[in-house]
Structure 1
Amino acid sequence: MDDTAARILRDSKTIAVVGLSRHPAKAAHSVPAAMQAAGFRVLPVNPTADVLLGERVYRSLSDIPDEVDVVNVFRPSPEAAGVAREAVRIGAKALWLQQDIVSPEARAIAEEAGLAYVEDQCMAVVRAINGIRK
């Protein structure tokens, strides 16, 4: 398991989830729910919902008024670079692309701006394997 991934979770409290789904059976809902259950603050980013996981939903990362430690991406790989640019703009400390999401362009954007970067890994699995709770 990537040490960077575990370090990001140990150092983070607030996770903005781009693409958090309203459908509980989807990983884009169950993974953020598991992170929330482990004590992380989850801030949903979704263009169509108002409340998810008991939290106000934001239309974009730039609408979030609070500090964001890590941006977790549940969007297709071609959208990852745009999310990376927005993560840099809001001052996030890390960018995490979920399992099966890979973007060399997002990696370059994040790393050039000094963000820690993870791709193609499930945040909930990394958290569970490392026993990280808040």
Structure 2
Amino acid sequence: MPDLISLLEHPDTTIAIVGATDNPAKFGNIIYKDLKRKGFRLFPVNPNKQVVERDLVYPSLAKIPEKPTIVDFVVPPEATLAVLKQCLDLGLMNVWLQPGTANPAVMDFLQQNRFHYLAACIMVETRFISRNKT
């Protein structure tokens, strides 16, 4: 089982942000900007947006042109569960749950399907990681 925190240290790690948004009051924007500022390669995913922070948004995980290393969730538990089913179909087994994205059904689904997951704030776990060369 991969250690998701260790994956963050790898320079080739990519992260899909499910729930990325252009609304600066929402965590989907705060987290996206934080990880982007730290130099992570990101894929914003939101079926209701076209652009976030001047980046093209993908309407679903299936539309991302390459397989992300980690799928980070910044959506309510009901949406998390629906997208986890897509993750399973696509073989995306490394998932990160931001606070507020899980409920008992989500946790049961993760465990029953043997996902590699972490429920924690990704901004906290990446606070000492920067890929920027400036």
On whether the aligned pair clears a TM of 0.5, the verdict is: yes
Which protein is richer in helix relative to its size?
Answer: 1
- The one-character-per-residue Cα deviations of 1:78-122 (angstroms, maximum 9, x if unpaired) are 222211111222232411111122234333434454432012x21
Q: Which residue of 1 aligns with 2:121?
A: 122
Q: Is the 8 A contact 2:7 2:13 kept in 1?
A: no
Q: Which residue of 2 aligns with 1:66?
A: 66
In 1, the alpha carbon distance for the partners of 2:94 and 2:65 equals 17
> 1:15: Cα distance to partner?
0.9
SS in 2 for 1:39: coil
- TM-score w.r.t. the length of structure 1 is 0.81
Q: Which residue of 1 aligns with 2:97?
A: 97
In 2, the alpha carbon distance for the partners of 1:100 and 1:106 equals 11
Structure 2 portions without partners, runs of 5+: none
> 1:127: Cα distance to partner?
0.8
Q: Is the 8 A contact 2:17 2:44 kept in 1?
A: yes
SS in 1 for 2:126: helix
- TM-score w.r.t. the length of structure 2 is 0.81
- The correspondence for 2:130, drawn from 126, 130, 133, is 133
Q: How does 1:1-134 map to 2 (within 5 A)?
A: 4-11=3-10, 13-119=13-119, 121-128=120-127, 131-134=128-131
In 1, the alpha carbon distance for the partners of 2:113 and 2:7 equals 16
In 2, the alpha carbon distance for the partners of 1:79 and 1:29 equals 17
RMSD of aligned residue pairs (Cα, Å) = 2.0
Structure 1 portions without partners, runs of 5+: none
